[in-house]
Amino acid sequence: MLGKVLKYDLKSMGKSLLPLYAGLVILALVLRVISFITDSVSAFGFIYNIMFVFFIVLVIGGLFYTFLVAIMRYYKNLYSDEGYLTHTLPVSSNSLLFSKVVSSLVYIILSVIISFISIIIVVDYNDVVSVLKEGLEFFSLCFDMSVFTIAMWSIFFLLLSYICYVLMVYAGISLGNMHSKNKIVFSVIYTVVIYYITQILGVVLIGVMFLINPDIMGQLDQAIPDKEYFTWIMGCGMGLNLVLLFACYFICYNRLKHLNLS
């Protein structure tokens, strides 16, 4: 049943997101064509600049909109009028929640891929690859790790952070819907409270790290810490994110288990 729920969530989110992704690629192709025309007709330069600014806004906005659609999908499917139908299905609360997280993750990955492809269409492919390669090689030398290891850790950390932020908002919505009135307002309040709690925990974690090793504060001030401290800092950061992830997941799961939409 999880597969059917996931398929339905992906299809539902796709109705809002796929047209945007298609539009982004089409705009990138149009920009590419105009760039060729601009080489021979300088008058098109102004049009290209205006469209390029719009393209950048669309790339950034597309990532944010993907996050927003995932949040709206969670709220509408589980806590709005649509939730009455959803909770009559023979599906466990864990499956419903897991489906929302996975579908959100699938579309943010797709959004990044589409954005990357669109940028490659507009900008020269070799330039984009060269910048990424130089960045990875730079950090590879700094931390004495292979380029592949740096890339994998970076991807894992970004995805983990994204899931944490999604579940943070999910948890805020879940707690906000305990109230009979002003549910959206309370959802926002709970989300902000959870966010600040995580920031406080981060400060506490830094304090604990300082007590264990006073030299850590000097490393935090550096743009690029030593490999030993970098691994420690990243490990602690990921550990905190994992604690946040499971805590927010538990809040969402517990609320769904005891949900009363009446």
Whether residues 6 and 69 fall in one domain: yes
- Among candidates 167, 163, 186, 162, which has minimal Cα distance to 175? 186
Q: Are residues 25 and 63 in the same domain?
A: yes
pLDDT at 33: 86
Same domain? 1 vs 114: yes
Q: Are 143 and 230 spatial neighbours (Cβ–Cβ below 8 Å)?
A: yes
Neighbours of 244 (CB within 10 A): 23
If asked whether residues 1 and 112 sit together in one domain, one would say yes
CA-wise closest residue to 167 among 92, 255, 82, 83: 255
Q: Do residues 107 and 156 both lie within one domain? A: no
Number of domains in the chain: 2
CB 183 within 8 A of CB 176: yes
pLDDT of 201 above 90: no
Position 193 confidence tier, pLDDT thresholds 50, 70, 90? very high
Cα angle, residue 50 at apex, residues 44 and 54 outer, rounded to 5°: 135
Residues 6+ positions from 134 with CB-CB distance below 8 Å:
none
The helix (H) or strand (E) run that includes residue 119 is: helix 93-122
**Residue 257: pLDDT over 60:** yes
Q: What is the pLDDT of residue 171?
A: 94
Q: For residue 190, what pLDDT is reported? A: 94
Q: Which of 123, 157, 178 is the last residue of a domain?
A: 123
Question: Alpha-carbon distance 104 to 19, whole Å?
Answer: 17
Tell me which residue of 15, 12, 54 sits closest to 31, measured CA to CA.
54
pTM of the entire predicted model: 0.84
Confidence tier at 248 by pLDDT (50, 70, 90): very high
Domain interval for residue 109: 1-123
166 and 248: one domain?
Answer: yes
DSSP-based three-state secondary structure for 215: coil
Per the model's pLDDT, the better-predicted residue between 86 and 59 turns out to be 59
At 221 the three-state DSSP class reads coil
Residues 23 and 118 in one domain: yes
Do 118 and 153 belong to one domain?
A: no
**Which one of 48-57, 134-143, 234-243 scores highest in mean pLDDT?**
48-57
Query: What is the pLDDT at residue 222?
Result: 59
